[in-house]
Structure 1
Amino acid sequence: MGKNVRENEIWVTGIGIACSAGTSFTEVTQSILDHRLCAQPTGLTLPVPMWGVCPNEIPSHPHFVDDRKSLLGLFAVEQAMHDAKSPNGPYSIFMGTGLSSITPAQLEEDLYPFVKDGIFDREAMAQDLHRQTAAPARHDPHRFVRFLKEKYNATGPCGTNFSACAAASQAIAEGMRVLRRGQAKVAIVGGHDSMAHPMGMLSFVVLGALSSTRCRPFDKRRDGFMLGEGSAVLILERAEDALKRGVIPYARLCGAGSSIDAWNVTAPHPQGVGAERSMINALRDSGLHHSDIDYINAHGTGTPLGDIAESSAISRVFGEHTPVSSIKGALGHCIAAAGAIEAVVCLAALQKQFLPGTFGLEEEENFEINVVKNAQLISISYTLSNSFGFGGQNSTLIFGAIN
């Protein structure tokens, strides 16, 4: 092993991505560097003007007809494996996804019987759900990971994460832990989701979480986020195995932290207690000090309560000098895939040595953190990425540059 490589060090050796910023690591990196708005008009009658959809065609697959998010996931997995030069297993696979892999068509089919004369009957649906509790699931939540397990003959631990907006980040963390324990040689990890369709948007409209204009993280006029779609997948290997193959890694996955505050189903703890604990756990896991972190990719959804809670937590852990930004104003919020997509943004920042900007930020709220408005070239060694989900599920990843 090289003299600068620590024992059990985990490297990122492959990246696959598809989102509104592009369908390759190069395209996404350039979009972030250019501080480009990647979202598009929805064209819907709902009071939601913008969403972040993939600009390029995603190949079809007979196994996933009408399953947009699984097609996005498969695209990213195959791209990442090719990028990593197809390392030999044994493989471990963990993916974050949402809505138990129900397609828009299936969701509409499930809801249609409860609509009478244009009115949705909640009570009838609740009674039907109660009757189903002892029945087999109509939709296989592990379908995509099961497909990948067979495709790559994965014999290591495999699983699907459903922890909302923290799902992909926690999937990446789980892959890291599997490699540390020596249960696999290669971890295929990430997330995939697509809520950029009318049925997907409806639930967030009801929750009042979507912006009626545009997503403005940390701005005084912020009023919610815009939805997106996408997938990002990382190939993780132990450094010693990657060195034997002679591959050039993107970065180190230094550590991960997780927590749950269980404060409210749709709102974070007002002081961001769970978020704070997640970041502290990640720092401890990586063996780093808060002063080592050069850039924080905030969850930064642009909701009134969410940005207050997260900024409060960041301020307590890092003070007011560490640069912080959110990319959701440019790309949209990809829900279960967000943590993986934003992990790729952190890898881009390390590769190109820059701070991503906060698209949509015009008049900053008086938060006690250092919010980066526009992209800036700067020397960085460590990045931290936050992903916080509904229900108080929190996840944090830390990446480091390769010396």
Structure 2
Amino acid sequence: MSALAITGIGLFTPAGDGTDATWERVLKGLPAATLAQVAGREYLTCPAPPFAPERLGAARFRRLDRSAQFAHLAAVEAVRDAGLSVDPDRTAVLVGTGAGCVTAYDSHHETLRTAGADRVSPFAVPSSLPNSIAAQLSITLGAGGPSTTVNTACASGASALGLAADLLRLGRCDMAVVVGAEAILTPFHLAGFDRIGALSHRLEDPAAASRPFDAGRDGFVAAEGAGALVLERADHAAARGARVHARLLGHGSSSDAHNAVRPRADGHGIATAVHAALTDAGISAADIGYVNAHATGTPLGDTVEAQALARLLPHRPPVSSTKGVTGHLFGAAGTVEAALTALALGHGLLPPNTNLDRPSPDIDLDLPTAPRPHTARAALSVSAGFGGHNAVLVLAPA
């Protein structure tokens, strides 16, 4: 497909409030994990930073789900970074989220349970529907083009970027604001992830808990936040003299069609998505100079992904997972990590694998443990989600 310009980036993550703060912490390898008491139990989490409600406006703050609040903060930064004047009819809004507006649902349901139907807010339904984030962002930005919510679990953000690329390629819009947002540090979700054995139990040392690719990894650390990117056709960006962080060359997706929780052991689904993304980008595997891996820190998932990448990329480009710092942002992971990949390409500096003390013996990859200067012609950003969803993006320097 024709390359698309990434002209705006906005990040609101456990690593920092804003793109600069997040990037700096990722490069320093400073984990954001903390020990939290949730419904009387201890869990490791990577919470989003606090922020003043006035940044959203008091009325909007009250009416938005927590994930929608994060989405607004990231999107506003991305649009400002792009120097973008939103065209009301030619700007699309696409949101990737794994769970949707669950904090609003939980809050309104608790009101119904404890105070009765007459006390339920008239905003209960519109604020808790899965489309609420995209709808409210379109309203806030005045964007009247396509507005869509994408759900492929932990691959949602990357899938939303792929859909945005298709809309731009088809001429359905001139620019797209793409956001991944998630806020599921809830008793229900933490208990559910714990029951399937997905969470790290390194409670005595939170900072060391999220350790992708490490031999001592024992699960992921759940996180919340948002990442936003502004995509434009290259000619549109050039016509308005926009600065370009990086280019999106292609995308690919697949399904393991295997299991609701476990990835397919042979990595076939990841390989299929990578091949599709490379074909869409019009490049070969040998052109890839860096991979931002999905690797969350689960024993099986990291091994499956690493072994698939080793087979696909025998020239051994550097591979890193930034989740050692940010934790696992679920549906927001794809946009946050695509943004970090774009920043890595733009700065010529690859982020390290944090907490990688001893690589797992069944993983044979080039895994930097410190920021590494590098000039990559192209990079992959890999995302995978529960149910077997895989989404891969190909990015290149501006």
TM-score norm. by structure 2 comes to 0.88
Corresponding residue for residue 87 of structure 1: 85
Answer yes or no: is the 8 Å Cα contact 1:91–1:152 preserved in 2. no
Amino acid of the residue matched to residue 392 of structure 1?
Answer: G
Answer yes or no: is the 8 Å Cα contact 1:255–1:399 preserved in 2. yes
Tell whether 2:3 aligns with 1:14.
Answer: no
Task: Supply the distance in 2 between the matched residues of 1:294 and 1:206 (Cα, whole angstroms).
Answer: 38
Task: Supply the distance in 2 between the matched residues of 1:244 and 1:233 (Cα, whole angstroms).
Answer: 22
Corresponding residue for residue 117 of structure 2: none
Q: Secondary structure of 2:295's match?
A: coil
Corresponding residue for residue 109 of structure 1: 109
Instruction: After superposing the two structures, state which structure 1 stretch, 385-394 or 14-23, moved more.
Output: 14-23
Corresponding residue for residue 191 of structure 1: 180
Matched ranges for 1:199-218 at <5 A: 199-213=188-202, 214-218=209-213
Corresponding residue for residue 345 of structure 1: 340
Q: Secondary structure of 1:359's match?
A: coil
Task: Supply the distance in 2 between the matched residues of 1:370 and 1:357 (Cα, whole angstroms).
Answer: 11
Amino acid of the residue matched to residue 175 of structure 1?
Answer: A
Tell whether 2:39 aligns with 1:42.
Answer: no
CA 1:152–1:211 in 2, change beyond 3 Å: closer, same or farther? same
Q: Matched residues, percent identical?
A: 32
Task: Supply the distance in 1 between the matched residues of 2:86 and 2:324 (Cα, whole angstroms).
Answer: 38
Corresponding residue for residue 246 of structure 2: 251
Tell whether 2:387 aligns with 1:391.
Answer: yes
Tell whether 2:171 aligns with 1:182.
Answer: yes
Deviation at 1:110, TM superposition (A): 6.8
Task: Supply the distance in 2 between the matched residues of 1:329 and 1:148 (Cα, whole angstroms).
Answer: 30
Amino acid of the residue matched to residue 233 of structure 2?
Answer: R
Amino acid of the residue matched to residue 322 of structure 2?
Answer: I
Corresponding residue for residue 100 of structure 1: 100
Amino acid of the residue matched to residue 391 of structure 1?
Answer: G
- Pick from 21, 28, 32: which aligns with 1:27? 21
Task: Supply the distance in 1 between the matched residues of 2:52 and 2:252 (Cα, whole angstroms).
Answer: 33
Answer yes or no: is the 8 Å Cα contact 1:320–1:368 preserved in 2. no
Corresponding residue for residue 290 of structure 2: 295
Corresponding residue for residue 116 of structure 2: none
Corresponding residue for residue 225 of structure 1: 220
Q: Secondary structure of 2:16's match?
A: coil
Q: Secondary structure of 1:18's match?
A: strand
Task: Supply the distance in 1 between the matched residues of 2:85 and 2:156 (Cα, whole angstroms).
Answer: 25
Answer yes or no: is the 8 Å Cα contact 2:13–2:326 preserved in 1. yes
Amino acid of the residue matched to residue 69 of structure 2?
Answer: L
Instruction: After superposing the two structures, state which structure 1 stretch, 155-164 or 295-304, moved more.
Output: 155-164
Task: Supply the distance in 1 between the matched residues of 2:107 and 2:257 (Cα, whole angstroms).
Answer: 27
CA 1:109–1:235 in 2, change beyond 3 Å: closer, same or farther? same
CA 1:319–1:354 in 2, change beyond 3 Å: closer, same or farther? same
- Pick from 238, 257, 262: which aligns with 2:233? 238
Deviation at 1:137, TM superposition (A): 10
Q: CA RMSD in A?
A: 2.2
Deviation at 1:139, TM superposition (A): 4.0
Task: Supply the distance in 1 between the matched residues of 2:389 and 2:32 (Cα, whole angstroms).
Answer: 27
CA 1:286–1:331 in 2, change beyond 3 Å: closer, same or farther? same
Q: Secondary structure of 2:77's match?
A: helix
Corresponding residue for residue 133 of structure 2: 144
Q: Secondary structure of 2:199's match?
A: coil
CA 1:285–1:110 in 2, change beyond 3 Å: closer, same or farther? farther
Amino acid of the residue matched to residue 241 of structure 1?
Answer: H
Q: Secondary structure of 1:189's match?
A: strand
Answer yes or no: is the 8 Å Cα contact 2:255–2:388 preserved in 1. yes
Unaligned stretches of 5+ in structure 1?
1-6, 114-135
Deviation at 1:320, TM superposition (A): 5.8
Answer yes or no: is the 8 Å Cα contact 1:80–1:235 preserved in 2. yes
Tell whether 2:69 aligns with 1:63.
Answer: no
Answer yes or no: is the 8 Å Cα contact 2:322–2:352 preserved in 1. yes
Amino acid of the residue matched to residue 248 of structure 2?
Answer: L
Q: Secondary structure of 2:222's match?
A: coil
Amino acid of the residue matched to residue 375 of structure 1?
Answer: P
Deviation at 1:148, TM superposition (A): 2.2
Q: Secondary structure of 1:109's match?
A: helix
Answer yes or no: is the 8 Å Cα contact 1:58–1:75 preserved in 2. no
Instruction: For residues 223-243 of structure 1, give each alpha carbon's deviation from its aligned partner in whole angstroms, at most 9, with x where no partner exists.
Output: 100011110110111111111
Answer yes or no: is the 8 Å Cα contact 1:169–1:339 preserved in 2. yes
Deviation at 1:263, TM superposition (A): 0.8
CA 1:316–1:58 in 2, change beyond 3 Å: closer, same or farther? farther
Instruction: For residues 210-258 of structure 1, give each alpha carbon's deviation from its aligned partner in whole angstroms, at most 9, with x where no partner exists.
Output: 0001122111121100011110110111111111111111010111110
Matched ranges for 1:323-362 at <5 A: 323-362=318-357
Answer yes or no: is the 8 Å Cα contact 2:377–2:397 preserved in 1. yes
Answer yes or no: is the 8 Å Cα contact 1:319–1:368 preserved in 2. no
Unaligned stretches of 5+ in structure 2?
114-124, 203-208
Aligned length: 373
Answer yes or no: is the 8 Å Cα contact 2:270–2:308 preserved in 1. yes
Instruction: For residues 372-392 of structure 1, give each alpha carbon's deviation from its aligned partner in whole angstroms, at most 9, with x where no partner exists.
Output: 222222222322111100000
Deviation at 1:74, TM superposition (A): 0.6
